Chains A and B, each alone.
Chain A
Amino acid sequence: MNLHRRLHTLAAIASLGALAFSPPGHAQITPPVKAVASFSILGDLVRQVGGERVEVDTLVGPGADAHVFQPAPSHARKVGQAQVVFANGLGFEGWMQRLLETAGFKGKPVVVSEGIKPLRAEGDKHHHSGKNPARSEHHHGDTDPHAWQAVPNVITYIGNISKGLCAADAAGCDLYRKNAAAYTTQLQALDAEIKAAWAVVPPAQRKLITSHDAFGYYAKAYGVMFLAAQGVSTDSEASAKGVAQLVRQIKKEQIKALFVESVADPRLIEQIGRETGIKPAGALYSDALTDASGPASTYLAMMRANTQAMTRAVQGK
């Protein structure tokens, strides 16, 4: 009886194993091209152009911070198996060169920001005082890498991605060009949409305080003024002077929109809101997408969510 049962168990395990290792019954078409994108926003763009033909892996996933990214062995494996690697460039992925060497990736990564006139990084003087080692990695040199915050730049990105995919997989080139053209139409519509959203806001009202320094391109493309939050930071506990400085700044500049979601204490932000009579606004997405259930799961959704949050906040809605 006992032996019998044991044999049964063994048989069950064996059949399970066979199931796991057998190829799937109806053969799925495996994508011929393996691509790796450095961060989640770029991953979305490559997926839009590559469609079904390209399997895209991202190194810095949704919600993670590319500035403090530490490559792990699994990332090196992904890169080593990839046929084409996409990077933003402009100093955004300082870790990329070393990772490519370590992974034994042959060939050059496709730098999607090629052909874009870079902005100088203005945020540096407010933000990167070098107090915090994690923050000092956020140093991109002189250029501001967050070029994707202006939609026209992303149209350039798409052209570069399409070229890069064609070079890696000539057979799919027609498909990539078609996808790129279709997505570019969507991007142009998005650009017009963002401009229209800001058009109803008087220019004098188009200013807001943010604790991010990622919106230089957005500011230039859509005529919005971003001021850095003074006096309060995530790094340290707030002093009365710091809070007073921020309150004075808001009153002096007649700011209605405050996006300082990463500042230490939500209770403190509420207090500043009461003091100045403004309602603290929610989050802006700058460097990463949210996961599929979030409000910024794709590039298009991210830009819409940001624009809506900003235009609402500056109008005091």
Chain B
Amino acid sequence: MIAPDTAVLGPFIEFGFMRSALFGCVALSLSAAPVGVFLMLRRMSLMGDAMAHAILPGAAIGYLLFGLSLAAMTVGGIIAGLAVAIGSGLVARNTLIREDTSLAAFYLLSLSLGVLIVSVRGNSVDLLHVLFGTVLALDTAALALLWGITGVTVATLLVIRRPLILDCLDPDFLRQVSGLGALAHYGFLALLVINLVAGFHALGTLMAVGIMVLPAAAARFWVRRVGPLIGAATTIALLASVAGLLVSYHADWPTSPVIVLGLGLVYLLSMVFAPRGVLRQRSVRRSHLRA
């Protein structure tokens, strides 16, 4: 029988790659979870998924030109993500196509281009490297990038939080009183893109959105106001990713899916048992009826 503290702390003490993975997960939780809260409040959770796929061709071009280079794949991913975000925004504002359709069109273009590039020039093993993450392989440069993105995200959110919240709640009002709406909108899209690129390095294209959307969705069942939502989402992301690392270590399961499944589990449990979840809501309603 292993002592509980050895089971939890042991892997991180013994192995540097586990410590790197932990630092990476902490950075990602502090940065992606708050972005996810605003994504949810703006009803753009699915847009996160679309944008995650939109990053692929940029990262693929970077990969083909410079190999598995952190800088090349980051810059490529950011350029592709911003191009899709801005392009679909412009189309939505200036043509009869709505935002959701234009985003879908742009991200599908981007995704198919990415798959084409990787398949023609690389091989399928390469494609898997790009799609699946490597939280176990984070090196110093990747960690520096993740923490840099976290710093930029937190600072930007602090600066634009008022117009951002207002834009979530009443975009028409904000548009009437000031020109900050567009700034908040595009600033937020930029944050979304750099966080997806960070998640892409740590968890892979497919899983990057998980650490963004799921903590926010779970937190919604616990608290209501924006501040507490951000706090709860970040805490949930932190706990689930640490638990995911440990489960992957002890059960011999691949890390990224375990982390995202852990977040999914928290979401399902919150939906049932949290103060604003299914069970409590029902009992509250019943007591109303009785009274």
Establish whether residues B137 and A239, one from each chain, have CB atoms under 8 Å apart when the complex forms.
no
CB contacts (< 8 Å) of A264 on chain B: these are 125, 128-129
CB contacts (< 8 Å) of A241 on chain B: these are 248-252
Q: With A267-B137, A271-B139, A274-B139 in contact, is A244–B11 under 8 Å at CB?
A: yes
Q: How far is the CA of A266 from the CA of B21 in the complex (A)?
A: 17
Q: How far is the CA of A237 from the CA of B131 in the complex (A)?
A: 11
Establish whether residues B137 and A270, one from each chain, have CB atoms under 8 Å apart when the complex forms.
yes
Interface residues on B, range: 20 to 34
| A304 CB → nearest B CB, Å | 28
Q: How far is the CA of A243 from the CA of B255 in the complex (A)?
A: 11
Q: How far is the CA of A239 from the CA of B248 in the complex (A)?
A: 6
Establish whether residues B15 and A244, one from each chain, have CB atoms under 8 Å apart when the complex forms.
yes
CB contacts (< 8 Å) of A274 on chain B: these are 16-17, 139
Q: How far is the CA of A123 from the CA of B68 in the complex (A)?
A: 31
Q: Is B173 an interface residue (CB 8 A)?
A: no
Q: Is A240 an interface residue (CB 8 A)?
A: yes
Establish whether residues A271 and B254, one from each chain, have CB atoms under 8 Å apart when the complex forms.
no
Q: Which residue of B lies closest to A269 (CB)?
A: B137
| B125 CB → nearest A CB, Å | 7
| Residues of A within 8 A of B (CB-CB), count | 21
Q: Is B134 an interface residue (CB 8 A)?
A: yes
Secondary structure of the A side of the interface?
Answer: helix
The answer, among A239, A266, A267, for a CB contact under 8 Å with B255, is: A239
Establish whether residues B11 and A240, one from each chain, have CB atoms under 8 Å apart when the complex forms.
yes
CB contacts (< 8 Å) of A234 on chain B: these are 125
Establish whether residues B252 and A265, one from each chain, have CB atoms under 8 Å apart when the complex forms.
no
The answer, among A237, A240, A266, A270, for a CB contact under 8 Å with B249, is: A240
| A99 CB → nearest B CB, Å | 27
Q: How far is the CA of A265 from the CA of B138 in the complex (A)?
A: 12
Q: Is A305 an interface residue (CB 8 A)?
A: no
Q: Is B60 an interface residue (CB 8 A)?
A: no
Q: How far is the CA of A241 from the CA of B248 in the complex (A)?
A: 7
| B197 CB → nearest A CB, Å | 16
Interface string of B237-275 (1 = CB under 8 A from A): 000000001001111111111000000000000000000
Q: Is A316 an interface residue (CB 8 A)?
A: no
| A289 CB → nearest B CB, Å | 20
Q: Is B23 an interface residue (CB 8 A)?
A: no
Q: Is B30 an interface residue (CB 8 A)?
A: no
Q: With A270-B139, A274-B139 in contact, is A237–B254 under 8 Å at CB?
A: yes
CB contacts (< 8 Å) of B245 on chain A: these are 240
Nearest 4 interchain pairs by C-beta: A237-B254, A240-B249, A267-B137, A241-B252
21 A–B pairs (Cβ distance < 8 Å), ordered by A: A236-B254, A237-B254, A237-B257, A238-B136, A239-B251, A240-B21, A241-B252, A242-B252, A243-B17, A243-B136, A244-B14, A244-B249, A247-B15, A247-B17, A264-B125, A265-B134, A266-B68, A267-B134, A271-B20, A272-B17, A275-B16
Given contacts A237-B254, A240-B245, A240-B255, 13 further A-B contacts (CB under 8 A): A237-B132, A237-B255, A237-B257, A239-B248, A243-B136, A244-B11, A264-B128, A267-B134, A267-B137, A268-B137, A271-B137, A271-B139, A275-B16
Residues of A within 8 A of B (CB): 234, 236-244, 247, 264-268, 270-272, 274-275
